[in-house]
Structure 1
Amino acid sequence: MGLETVVNDIMDVAQAEAAQKKEEADTEASQIIEDAKERAKKIKGDRLAETEVKIERLNKQEISSANLEVKRIKLNARKEILEEVYNKAFESVSNLSPQKNEELLKTLLDKYEEYGAKIYSNKESEEIVKKLSSLEYAGNIACIGGIVIENSDGTVSLDYTYDTILKGVYDQSLKQISDILFG
């Protein structure tokens, strides 16, 4: 056996070991790559699921926000319409004919005059109130019509102005008015 044969045998063994190590390294590298691909696939799936959840949450938030905005707009529109109805009623009461105003004042006086000693009205109704009432006329007040009756010492005041009556009726009937207008 020559030195050359020993060198060749060592070289063959070294090459066989190198081939085996290379094969093991290739197998390990393939396994690492497969594991990495699986992890990447799982991460991608998790992220996709998280993104879908976030998109769904944002979608729900946007829909809720849009619904609230629609409700706000509808409520504001209803409020404007109800204010317009009140203003038209106020205007109608403000523009009562003198005969109708006198009828209403007479009705109020017949019902409430006995509870007071002094009476107030707006400037336009002063002469009618003085003519219809036996109470002391105490002066003018700022209102669209009606009367205010006070006891002799001014501690009790009954407000039967058209403004107050209209506001009271409106407040009491607001739900009914809203139901009639908006269903």
Structure 2
Amino acid sequence: MSLADIKVKIEADAKLEAEKILEVAKEKADEVRKAAEAEVSKIESSYSDRFSAEKPEVLKRREIVANLDVKKIMLGARQDLISHAFDGAWHEMANLPAERYVDFCEKLLEKAVDTGKETLFVSAKEKNLNEEWLNKYNEKHKTSLAFDKAASFISGGFILRKDDIDTNCSFDMLIKWVREDIEADVAKRLFSE
């Protein structure tokens, strides 16, 4: 046998051996692919079964969350309406006819005055509680109340100061105090079904 024949035989044997190795590798690759496909199918089936089992619970949770969101929105709207009602009450107080406004403030002042020498703060825009009114009040009640020259940033009513103690009888504060006491009743009246 010549060198060329030996070379051809070695190449042929190597080719056969390579084909056998490739065939074994293809078989193993097919086995791995089939096992992977079976695992994927099993996982898909598992997730499908799990989703089918959990679907009602997921939908129920979504419904609960949606209902909570609706309740939050409704609560916000109700709170806005209640605030609007109290804003209307403040507006009514601020726009009382002059005589009723003065009478109301005088009654508040009578309850707030302690020594009769306190200082009174009113809004710079106040029309009814003025020097003339205060002079009449002092004369009638034998007090010596005085206005402070500094303008107060209240929207109606007054603030009475004795030393370092303020008695806030502004309409904003009065509405706030009343609101704390009656807000639940107002809500009940506005939204009872």
TM range (shorter): 0.5 to 0.7
Match of 2:77 in 1: 77
Give the whole-Å Cα distance in 2 for the aligned partners of 1:144 and 1:136. 19
Q: Which runs of 5+ in 1 are unaligned?
A: 1-38
Partner of 1:175: 184
> Following the alignment from structure 2 to structure 1, what is the Cα–Cα distance between the partners of residues 180 and 167?
19
User: Which of residues 154, 159, 170 in structure 2 aligns to 1:148?
Assistant: 159
Q: Report the CA distance between 1:63 and its aligned residue.
A: 0.7
Counterparts of 1:46-61 in structure 2 under 5 Å? 48-61=48-61
| Percent sequence identity over aligned pairs | 19
| CA–CA separation in structure 2 for the residues paired with 1:162 and 1:48 | 64
Tell me the secondary structure at the aligned position of residue 159 of structure 1.
strand
| Higher RCO (CA < 8 A, seq sep 6+) | 2
Match of 1:126 among 127, 130, 144: 130
TM-score (norm 1): 0.67
SS, match of residue 120 in structure 2:
strand
- 1:133-182 CA-partner distances (Å, limit 9, x unpaired): 3312223422232221112xx31111112221111101221111111111
SS of 1:158's equivalent in the other structure is strand
Runs of 4+ in 1 over 4 A off after TM superposition: 43-48
Aligned AA (2:130): E
Query: Partner residue of 2:99?
Result: 99
> Which has more helix, going by share of residues?
1
Q: 1:58 to 1:110 in 2, by over 3 A?
A: same
**Rounded Cα–Cα distance in structure 2 between residues aligned with 1:55 and 1:99:** 69
Larger Rg: 1
Q: Is the 8 A contact 1:149 1:157 kept in 2?
A: yes
Deviation of the 1:72 alpha carbon: 1.2
Equivalents in 2 of 1:64, 1:51: separation in Å?
19
In 1, the alpha carbon distance for the partners of 2:113 and 2:51 equals 76
SS in 1 for 2:60: helix
Matches within 5 A, 1:152-167: 154-167=163-176
Spell out, residue by residue over 1:30-59, the C-alpha distance to the aligned partner (whole angstroms, 9 max, x if none). xxxxxxxxx9xxx68755531222312221
Any conservation in 2 of the 1:105–1:129 contact (CA below 8 Å)? no
1:93 aligned partner, one-letter code? M
Contact 2:134 2:146 in 1 (8 A): no
Distance 2:108 2:88 in 1: 23
Q: One-letter code of the match for 1:78?
A: R
C-alpha displacement of 1:101: 0.9
1:8 aligned partner: none
Residue 168 of structure 1 aligns with an amino acid whose one-letter code is: W
Query: What corresponds to 1:111 in structure 2?
Result: 111
* Cα distance in 2 between the residues matched to 1:56 and 1:80: 36
RMSD: 2.5
**Cα distance, 1:149–1:49 mapped onto 2, change above 3 Å:** same
